[in-house]
């Protein structure tokens, strides 16, 4: 790990000052943010938050962007009432904090949200996107869950491919060239495994000069040279969903 004192660089970037266009709902035991497009649709996207939790304005901004592009978008609280990480927390406690929030143990919550989207929102084709912690969760779901149609893993820590690399659904992987947390060597190993074993469409893309969090945690007006890559990452995410949903 590149930085033992700060095991996740998710505090790079800014918390957007953004209110959100959707609404919060209670779905069985989970709270969720939901934003619907102007026209009715049977396509939905589950947005899986990073370590900062479901209320982070940046993640809701992405959900609203997906709704603007014609999807029912929902960002559930996959920490189920537990607090999200705060930048002021002591990074020395991060590993203990993470033990009660496993990206590979969200199946119960996903089933609840899938039921809600199908029965109450009329969704028939459902994809998933996730950032950081949520990006790892997307990898887990693309390997295990038969009820989704496509996924986009955005700087998700590569952790679920030890046993299998047989993805069930088309998956797009977004990585940053200068991500201190996900070395490019790990990305190369993942690509090789997918090349050997994967039977569905996939793409692994590395964005030059970018750092962890660039798609949703960087403000576009801070560094003009980053703006094209931020916009490209978001456009690639939407294009992948459009193609497979």
Helices (H), the chain: 57-68, 94-99, 107-120, 133-144, 184-197, 214-217, 227-244
| Beta bridge partner(s), residue 127 | 45, 150
Distance of alpha carbon 87 from the chain centroid: 19
Mode of pairing for the β-strands spanning 30-35 and 23-27: antiparallel
CA dihedral 225, 70, 130, 150 (to 10 degrees): -120
| Torsion-angle region of 35 (φ positive above 0: left; ψ -120 to 50: alpha; else: beta) | beta
Q: Which two tokens stand for residue 193?
A: 């495994």
User: 11, 77, 179, 236: which one is catalytic?
Assistant: 179
Nearby residues of 199 by Cβ (< 8 Å), 6 or more positions away:
166, 167
- Of the candidates 157, 171, 175, the one whose C-alpha atom is nearest the C-alpha of residue 229 is 175
User: 10, 212, 216, 236: which one is catalytic?
Assistant: 212
What's the rounded Cα separation, in Å, for the pair 151 and 131?
Answer: 11
Contact 139, 145 (CB under 8 A): no
Q: Is 212 among the residues known to form the active site?
A: yes
User: 10, 35, 75, 132: which one is catalytic?
Assistant: 132
Q: Is 132 among the residues known to form the active site?
A: yes
Contact 50, 15 (CB under 8 A): no
Q: Is 216 among the residues known to form the active site?
A: no
Catalytic residues: 132, 179, 212
């Amino acid at each position: 790990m590149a930085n033992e004192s700060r095991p996740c660089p998710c505090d790079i970037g800014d918390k957007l000052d953004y209110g959100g266009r959707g609404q919060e709902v209670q779905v069985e035991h989970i709270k969720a943010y939901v934003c619907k497009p102007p026209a009715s649709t049977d396509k939905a996207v589950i947005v899986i938050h990073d370590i900062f939790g479901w209320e982070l304005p940046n993640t809701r901004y992405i959900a609203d962007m997906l709704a603007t592009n014609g999807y029912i978008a929902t960002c559930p609280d996959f920490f189920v009432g537990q607090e999200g990480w705060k930048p002021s927390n002591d990074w020395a406690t991060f590993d203990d904090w993470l033990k009660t929030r496993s990206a590979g143990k969200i199946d119960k919550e996903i089933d609840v949200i899938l039921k809600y989207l199908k029965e109450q929102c009329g969704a028939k084709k459902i994809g998933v996107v996730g950032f950081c912690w949520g990006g790892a969760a997307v990898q887990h779901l693309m390997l295990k869950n038969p009820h989704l149609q496509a996924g986009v893993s955005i700087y998700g820590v590569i952790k679920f491919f030890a046993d299998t690399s047989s993805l069930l659904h088309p998956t797009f992987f977004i990585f940053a060239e200068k991500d201190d947390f996900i070395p490019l060597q790990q990305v190369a190993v993942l690509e090789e495994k997918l090349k050997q074993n994967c039977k569905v469409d996939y793409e692994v893309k590395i964005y030059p000069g970018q750092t962890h969090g660039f798609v949703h945690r960087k403000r576009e007006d801070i560094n003009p040279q980053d703006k094209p890559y931020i916009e490209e990452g978001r456009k690639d995410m939407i294009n992948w969903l459009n193609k497979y949903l």
